[in-house]
Every structure is written in structure tokens, then in C-alpha cells.
Structure 1
Amino acid sequence: MNNIVTSRTELRQLIRHRRQQLNPSQQHQAAQALAGRFSQWPELSDCQHIALYLSNDSELDTWPLIHALWQQQKNIYLPLLHPFTAGHLIFQHFLPNTPMRSNQFGIPEPDWSCPDLIPLSELDLIVTPLVAFDEQGNRLGMGGGFYDRTLAGFSARTAAGSPRLVGIAHDCQQVERIPVEAWDVPLPAICTPARFFLL
């Protein structure tokens, strides 16, 4: 294992532990603050089809944000593990009454419904999870590479392209520098409860 992989693994463990130390009250306050900050992002007005995700492993709770976006009449989509292309994600429309199931990692996802799937090119915004980030927009994920592979074709898009990419995280997940690999997809924007980083 080379040094960059070792440092990424150690950093991932460190920040996951830091995130897991947040108590329920801190988690609740952070989720509410982020939902409020994100909902006021000016670029959100141009976004109707938004991919989000359900929180796992002490990630910042996305439910307040999902409900805030529903109140703004936004269409929300959740990721599913691609059934035919290993290591990739597809996105499906998500409503309060959408049937759910657990995937192979124990993470809830919508029960497969082909008519409710949306092509990546028709999404206006994709909100990505992350373990750690830096001010340059570099993102460290859980290590599975699902978002990196799925979004690789969009890494060179300009801010005017579609879909836009934005990461969300607790403030404690910011680090000085992420060790970068060639396949990493940097994010043009990252939202935390305290601030919005625009790169």
C-alpha cells in the first residue's frame, strides 16, 4: 500500500471518528442549519431535479434538507446501486410514499422502478456525501468510488453545465489538504452548517 493510499485510509478513519463523536443534539442542530443555508443558495432557484441521498454512518442528516426542498416543490432523486454496471449509481425519483429496501450495504434505497429513473444528464444538481474535504474542493469519500465512477463524465463540465455538483458535510469534516488520486472528482461547491464554499 503506497503512502497516498495509507494517508487517505488514515484520514478517512480519523474524520469518520470525529463525525461519530457528535451527540444527537449537535447532529440535529447541524442538519437544521445546513438545510436553512442550502435552501437559500441563489443557484437553487434554477434547479428542479435534485439528487440527494439518505444519511448513513453519522453523516449529516439529510432529512431536514429533503423536506425543505420538497416544500420548495423540488423533485428529489435518490441513488441506487446500478444493477448492471458494477460500482456505479443510478438515480430514482423519491416521494414520501416511495417503497424502500436495503441494498447490499444495509443502506435504504428506493425499490426499483424503471419509469421513475432519471438520466444523469437530466438532473440539475447532484448532492454528494463525503467523509472529508478541503478548501480546494477535493473530496474524500468512503472508499467505494461509486460517485467518482458515476460522475467521471461530468468532471470537466463548467458551472453552467448540468448537473451541478455540491457536497454537504459537517464543519468538523474539513481538513487542510486531501491526498488526491487521478480519478477523484473535485467539487465546485461544498455546503456545511456554517458556510458555503464556492470554488
Structure 2
Amino acid sequence: MKPFHLVTSNENKLKEFQRFGLQNIQIEKGRDLPEVEADPFTVILYKSLEAGEQRIVEDTSLHIEGEKVGVNIRWLLDFISNFSGKKATWEVLLGVHNGETITTYQGLIHGVITDKYKEEPKGFGFDAYFIPDGSTETLYDLECKGEKDLFSARKKAVEFLQNAQSIREVKIQDIPAWTGTMQHEK
């Protein structure tokens, strides 16, 4: 059996995946894949199709109480401090394409948004704005102390993958061609 390749275009995510000690999975930098404008599960299905067979892809969402952010967090980072004090959930989905099905694994971390670093953003993504439940520090602060992985939705998703605890499996033949818009399409 050919090995699976976990592919991401994001250098910071690449470093995190390398820390997780994935077994029997090769980690590599890939191209930035186009993403459909839809819910997280639909995004990961079509991203997996685009990546191809024997590939594992990741998609991150940040669900903020009462706001429409979700899969579009990448495009809304400049506004995240406006949501300070609101509850949020960091969601990471992994899509595994084996040629017949796409299997999805999910990691969730609940927390709250802060504007602690509003004037001088730090870290990558929303790390400086998210305080996970069970901590009083942002993901950025935890990363500086080498403790981010204890509160990582990405690591949780990887653990579920390694333990074969999926949340959804879809036959590729049952996925229709995408006819909708793409994220950040102009």
C-alpha cells in the first residue's frame, strides 16, 4: 500500500504537524488549494478531491458566537479583535482521500476571543486572539512556552486520525461536481 501524504501550504501548520509524531504518514509542503464557499465539512470534501488520492488535507475554522466567521477566518484576521470576550470554537478537519472514500477527522477546542495583542499581533493565524478553555493564556503565549499542543485542535484531529476515530466517510462517487462559488472569489 502506498503511504499517505499530509499536504499543507502553510509553513506554520507544517511545523506543527511535524511535532505530532505522525506514524506511516509523510508530511510535505504543497500548493495552496482552492476552497469552496460552504460549511466546513463540504470544504474538506472538495479540498480532499482537489488534493487527490493518498493525500490528507487540513482545514481550519473559527466559530465565534453570533458571528459569521467559520471557514473564512483566514480572510477576517484583521477584524478578530473586534470580537473580544465572545466564546469561540477552533475546529480542525482532516480529510483523508484513499481513492474510494474521503474520511473526515475532527478536532475541537472551545475558548474565548481576546484583544490582548490588538495593537501588535503576534504568532500566526488567530493564535494571539484565542484563549482555550482550561488556560488563561493565548495560543501564541502557549506556543512560546512550548505548551500549545496541549490545547491544539489540530493535534486532537491528528490523534483521532491515528486512532481511526472518524466522524464521517463519504464515497467519492457520491460527491457531485462543485458548481458554487469559491472562498475569497472576486
TM-score (norm 2): 0.27
Q: Return the structure number with greater relative CO, CA threshold 8 A, min gap 6.
A: 1
